[in-house]
Amino acid sequence: MIDQDLQLYDAIRFAKEAEQKAATFYADGATKTANPKGKKLFEQLADFERYHYQKLTDLENSLRAQGKFIGYEGRELLLSPILPFDRKEKNRMSVMDIITTAMDLETKAGELYKNLASQTSDPDGKAMFERLTKEEQNHYRILANAYPKLNQFGEWDLGL
């Protein structure tokens, strides 16, 4: 049991570091896009990753203090409508690199949470990690939807 606990704490610590890194990455990305839609998306994703970090901290504290998983209600990424107007992305290549890297970050985070869900027998823990998996997959989907039109035309389209 102690070995499992150490592995879980290590995984949570790793996940927290990844969420913190992703939040910083998105916040930086928001400063690099000239388009209000892109800026708003990156700001919202940064906030979402900070939320994940806080919930993982809450989980870690609960496990250490009480030995219990916490309930995780999840959160929706609300994108519609971000802004009523659009303009061409001036920093398209830089933003394309950001989106590509972000998609990779979201994939890795989703895989980590999926793995944790499969290794967790506690119903609250399993539900939390499954929900985190879905949230990361949704972030990936949104970024993947934006990629083609931004790449081809320099326009942000979030597929809404």
Domain-located, residue 45 = yes
Is 129 within the bounds of a domain? Answer: yes
- When pLDDT is cut at 50, 70 and 90, the band that residue 83 belongs to is very low
Q: What CATH code is carried by the domain that includes residue 13?
A: 1.20.1260.10
- Domain limits at 21? 2-75+83-153
Is residue 160 a part of any domain in this protein? Answer: no
* Whether pLDDT at 149 is above 60: yes
How many other C-beta atoms are found inside a 10 Å radius of the C-beta of residue 7? Answer: 12
* 115 DSSP 8-state letter: H
The pLDDT, as a whole number, for residue 159 is: 63
Is 158 within the bounds of a domain?
no
In the chain, how long is the greatest CA-to-CA distance? 56
**pLDDT at residue 85 is higher than 90:** no
**pTM of the prediction?**
0.84
Give the C-alpha separation, 30 to 98, whole Å. 10
Judge whether 89 lies within some domain. yes
Asked whether residue 137 is domain-assigned, the answer is yes
Q: What local confidence, expressed as pLDDT, does residue 52 receive? A: 96
Count of domains observed in the chain: 1
pLDDT at 89: 58
Average pLDDT over residues 89-104: 79
